[in-house]
Structure 1
Amino acid sequence: MCAEALALLRQQEPWFVSLAILGALYVAAVAYRLLHTSGLALCLRGPKDLRRRYGAWAVVTGPTSGIGRSMALELARRGLNLVLVGRDPGALQDIAGTASDTHGVLTKTVQFDFSLVSTPQGEEAMGRLRQAVERLEVGVLVNNAGVATPHATYLHEADAEAWVRMIRVNLWAVTEVTAAVLPGMVERGRGAVVNIGSGAAEALPSYPLYSVYAATKRYVSQFSRSLCVEYRGKGIDVQCQAPLYVDTKMVTNMVTRGGLLSRLIMPTSDAYAGAAARWIGHRRPVCMPNLGHRLQWCLCHFVPDRALAAHRLRENLRQRAVFQLLRSSSGEGIGGRR
């Protein structure tokens, strides 16, 4: 059949042959891109042994709920011991006990309120973290801790201290924790740094009413891109994972839940963590591990930026109204940690 096809091609005009070749190359390029971006290639591979590839311990920040808790338990399921870093001692002990009892791994906890980074209390906590990891073979770091408070508000409406706390947690803490863990990875010549960013800073042209949040997450992605290049030659994989909506406290009241389509658009934190762990070490500096999120990202490329921005503004104004109603009825702020 191949010989007959070649003979048929020789009988055609040169311009036809050239177009046929170009068409075949284009189809092959599209197929490769689809396989690559969809992550189907990852699904065809067996799971990586993260402990053997990177080291025996993982550091996870913000591990007491949402993505952080699910990531900690997923890494423990894969055999990694855990250093759990967060602000609530009781919640830290709870997740440490669950990981130990369920998966038989060793755990350490470090109390650290990341909103106090760059203060004397923050420096003391950073010292405890450095001491905790000093003699451990830390192979994986997951910078998950993050806040989105205040929710959906105009810049001039929120107290400036709220923005400062957000910047400390989402930006400054990521930088300092990474700097604290990297020396050991460099010395051993291996490691993986996973920074949890946001699809709001990658898939969308703007994120109105969450401007500071989106800006801090854009920092995380650019920080990760640069570190990826900087440390690749030292055996360290650096990656920013940028999820869209995941079913956590952070997105409470933001979107309607229920149904198969909703689960595709907004996976549970456990489902997300399973996908996220598979992407660790996949050499792409910024990625969306969840298939549903990647499909949404692809669709965004076909929608004009102006239309996306207008839709996002309408939706976030709706969220603003919801949060204002909740605050007025409860008399309390609405939490925004993962």
Structure 2
Amino acid sequence: MGTDAFLRQQEPWFVSLGILGALYVAVVAYRLFHISGLALCLRQPKDLRRRYGAWAVVTGPTSGIGRSMALELARRGLNLVLVGRDPAMLQDISETVSRTHGVLAKTVQFDFSLVSTPRGDEAMRRLREAVAGLDVGLLVNNAGVAKPGVVYLHEVDAEAWVSMIRVNLWALTEVTAAVLPGMVDRGRGAVVNIGSGCTVALPSVPFYSIYAATKRYVAQFSRSLYVEYRGKGIDVQCQRDQLTHAVSHL
């Protein structure tokens, strides 16, 4: 029996269900395509220095995604303001980018778990001083923590959750607010916030409740900032965890 004849024999609800199923599969495939980073790899890289500015601020640049982002931005010719909590590791990545790619690098020691405390306020003051007068065109908010995880909410001391919220949510917001004024004055810039695929792919993330909630904030914060600042020449996007070459999307 041919396909057309088979469909004519089916109930209308069956055909409608099949169409909806096909549309759902298409939407999921589209999202996976973008989340996987394949879409980014197909885009032609741009001159980030000319488009946005000569300097980039990267938080959490000493390992993982943050280190990869710092190295990639340096390779693309951007000078760096590197912000993290470990002085020795900051010095290491600073020397590496300067030696390997010949760019300038500044370091700012900042334990983001102390944001909104006197020590955190002092670190924020040092960050503002570090970027003052620089043509900062790109901010990468990469710093984040996922521990404690695989645990019931009531089994962990509240201070641990507060620390995670400070790092993943509060510090990201304050650093963005500190860097944006210069971008607004120059009429150009970009903010890249590192979120998590769990906020898109999963309806809930049990045993990682606080982490998932903070990353959901990052996604919504990014969407809202994009609308808020697009008229001022500033791009804002939220990238998911694994995209170490997210800058190619700008």
- TM over 0.5, shorter chain: yes
> Which residue of 69, 94, 105 corresponds with 1:107?
105
* Cross-structure match for 1:277: 247
- The 1:44/1:219 distance shift into structure 2, 3 A limit, reads closer
Give, in whole Å, the separation in 2 of the partners of 1:36 and 1:153.
Answer: 28
* Cross-structure match for 2:173: 175
1:176-222 deviation per Cα after TM superposition (whole angstroms, max 9, x unaligned):
00000000000000000000011111211011000000000000000
Deviation at 1:35, TM superposition (A): 11
Q: Is the 8 A contact 1:81 1:105 kept in 2?
A: yes
1:281-306 deviation per Cα after TM superposition (whole angstroms, max 9, x unaligned):
3xxxxxxxxxxxxxxxxxxxxxxxxx
* Cross-structure match for 2:135: 137
Q: How many residues align?
A: 225
Give, in whole Å, the separation in 2 of the partners of 1:89 and 1:57.
Answer: 21
The yes-or-no answer on 1:77 pairing with 2:75 is: yes
* Cross-structure match for 1:189: 187
Q: Which runs of 5+ in 2 are unaligned?
A: 1-21
Give, in whole Å, the separation in 1 of the partners of 2:125 and 2:237.
Answer: 25
What is the root-mean-square deviation in Å for CA atoms of aligned residues? 2.2
Alignment of 1:1-338 (within 5 A): 34=30, 38=34, 42-243=40-241, 246=242, 272-274=243-245, 276-279=246-249, 281=250
Give, in whole Å, the separation in 1 of the partners of 2:226 and 2:67.
Answer: 25
> What letter corresponds to residue 64 of structure 1 in structure 2?
T
> What letter corresponds to residue 140 of structure 2 in structure 1?
V
> Percent of counterpart pairs with the same letter?
77
- The 1:87/1:35 distance shift into structure 2, 3 A limit, reads closer
Deviation at 1:99, TM superposition (A): 0.4
**Which protein shows a greater Rg?**
1
Give, in whole Å, the separation in 1 of the partners of 2:234 and 2:200.
Answer: 23
- The 1:160/1:40 distance shift into structure 2, 3 A limit, reads closer
Deviation at 1:66, TM superposition (A): 0.6
TM-score, structure 2 normalization:
0.85
Give, in whole Å, the separation in 2 of the partners of 1:273 and 1:41.
Answer: 13
TM-score, structure 1 normalization:
0.63
1:157-191 deviation per Cα after TM superposition (whole angstroms, max 9, x unaligned):
00110000000000000000000000000000000
Q: Is the 8 A contact 1:195 1:224 kept in 2?
A: yes
1:224-275 deviation per Cα after TM superposition (whole angstroms, max 9, x unaligned):
00000000000000111123xx4xxxxxxxxxxxxxxxxxxxxxxxxx423x
Q: Is the 8 A contact 1:202 1:242 kept in 2?
A: no
Q: Which runs of 5+ in 1 are unaligned?
A: 1-25, 247-271, 282-338
| SS of residue in 2 equivalent to 1:233 | helix
Q: Is the 8 A contact 1:84 1:109 kept in 2?
A: yes
> What letter corresponds to residue 158 of structure 1 in structure 2?
V
Give, in whole Å, the separation in 2 of the partners of 1:121 and 1:36.
Answer: 41
- The 1:109/1:202 distance shift into structure 2, 3 A limit, reads same
- The 1:159/1:186 distance shift into structure 2, 3 A limit, reads same
| SS of residue in 1 equivalent to 2:244 | helix
Give, in whole Å, the separation in 1 of the partners of 2:139 and 2:148.
Answer: 27
Q: Which has the higher contact order (CA 8 A, sep 6+)?
A: 2
Q: Which stretches of structure 1, 4 residues or more, deviate above 2 A after TM superposition?
A: 33-46
